[in-house]
Amino acid sequence: MRRFLTTLFLLFISMASFGIKAEVMVLIHGYLGSADSWEVSGINAILDANGWKRGGLVTSKPAMAQFLQGPGKDADKKVYVVDLPADAPIMIQTDQFLAMMQTVQQFHPDEPIILVGHSAGGVVARMALIRGNLSNVRALITIASPHIGTSRASQALHATDESGMFGFVKGFFGGRNYDIVRHSRGLLFDLVHPHPGSLLYWLNAQQHPDIDYVSVIRTDPVGFAGDELVPGFSQDMNNIPAIHGNSNVVITPAGHTLVAQDGDTLIQILNELDQPATDDKESV
């Protein structure tokens, strides 16, 4: 009887250990976005309906991170949103994101983490993978991210260049939107097409961790890859020399901003990540 009870106890402990193995998803907003972008778009509601509960918000102040728990903090599958300075250069956003990830990892030291980045948030996530000790990240999903840069950044830099004899005139007549873009010039420099000395040129040549990569690529109403801000080839991580051929691709008909459909797309991707690996790197 004692042996039977001991065996039963060990079996219970084994089953419990499998039961408590949870997953964590961290959502990273893009340029001029915020942690609320995932909520107002309807994505969080769709994730919640499919078992991914709102775990909380991680925000930052200089040299520290603040964690605000959500109603799903004890769920098996949790979603955290981060709030970054969305107009700051990539390195500044990355440093703050890494501080936030330390907080998340303290709460979930042994749980696999999935990073999801929209737009510039996808570049921040990649930089964090290169510069930080994120050993338990199992996948990176990016949505409409400018991995190979965008000419829109170059155009915005040209439009807000106030050098020269009459450069001050731009600032005088620019208005609020002009001021926002002007304030974002540090980030825009980071998002131009890669060239020697640029951030993306360096980042795209770095060795990336051996995890799952998924590129969500937008298509316009005509069916051409890309959206109004980022061309399709730039949204595809397979065009990054260090990742080439190792990213799955999901095509979604939408503009650059987040939409509720992205919630369904994420659920589809998450389900496929749990399936045995195949050689197929593209899905629709």
> Which CATH number belongs to the domain containing residue 75 in this structure?
3.40.50.1820
Q: Which of these ranges, 3-17, 98-112, 212-226, has the smallest mean pLDDT?
A: 3-17
Tell me what pLDDT residue 147 has: 98
Does residue 282 carry a pLDDT above 80?
no
Q: Are 112 and 212 in contact (CB under 8 A)?
A: no
Domain that holds residue 86: 24-150+196-271
Banded pLDDT at 7 (limits 50, 70, 90): very low
- Is 11 a domain residue? no
pLDDT digit string, tens, across residues 132-177: 978 899 999 999 999 999 999 999 888 876 554 444 444 444 566 7
Tell me, what's the pLDDT at 64? 62
**Mean pLDDT, the chain, as a whole number?**
85
Tell me the CB-side half-sphere exposure of residue 44, using CA atoms within 13 A.
Answer: 23
**Residue 68 lies inside a defined structural domain of this protein:** yes
Mean pLDDT lowest among 18-32, 37-51, 94-108, 192-206: 18-32
Please determine, for residue 75, whether its predicted confidence score (pLDDT) is greater than 80.
yes
Q: What is the pLDDT of residue 26?
A: 98
Instruction: Say if residue 221's pLDDT is above 60.
Output: yes
pLDDT at 82: 97
* Residue 120 is assigned to a structural domain of this protein: yes
Does 200 fall in a domain?
Answer: yes
Closest by CA to 267, choosing from 36, 42, 28, 7, is 42
13 band by pLDDT with thresholds 50, 70 and 90: very low
Instruction: Flag whether 231 is in a domain.
Output: yes
Assigned domain for 251 exists: yes
Assigned domain for 13 exists: no
What is the mean predicted confidence (pLDDT) over 237-262? 96
Residue 171 or residue 77, greater confidence: 77
219 domain residue, yes or no: yes
pLDDT of residue 135: 81
Average pLDDT over residues 94-114: 92
pLDDT at 180 over 90: no
Number of domains forming the structure of the chain:
1
